[in-house]
Amino acid sequence: MKNAFLVLFTMAVTVVVMACSSTNKETSGASALSTLDAPSIEQSAEVDSVQADSVAMQEMNDSKDKIVVLDFYATWCGPCKAMAPTMEKMEKKYAGKVEFRKVDVDQEPELAAQYNIRGVPTIVVLSPGGEILDSMVGAQTEDELDKMFTMLL
């Protein structure tokens, strides 16, 4: 029963993400979001991307000494693009203490469903053992992220 629910939920999330993606792509030519000066998600590739396979998840959960920050984003998401430089600053500031991973919800719908992601950007913070410590939905300021990381470290 649980597996059937997970499959149905994953399918529903995929449909919603695809619908949002196609809607945004159709209007992106006239959208003010397309003119953002923020670097694209592809340009901020310094942060590792997560694959939804069990090897990558096991590798991520094996970080026994660091918390892990999963940055769920979409390439078409304006707030995600605007937040990318802030996440890069956080990665540099907390290097060695926090492991940052970017997760494209369009490429990894199963992982997004596993963490119950309903909107992007969403930040999920995992303990060194893989338990969810905190999460934030929507674009966050550097100060808001700094407060969260400081409290969790």
Residues marked active site are found at 77, 80
Q: Summarize the chain as % helix, strand, coil (round to 5).
A: 50, 20, 35
Cα radius of gyration (the chain) = 16
Q: CA angle, corner 123, sides to 118 and 127, nearest 5?
A: 115
End-to-end CA distance of the chain: 38
Q: Is 132 helix (H, G, I), strand (E, B) or coil?
A: strand
How far apart are the C-alpha atoms of 17 and 107, rounded to whole Å? 10
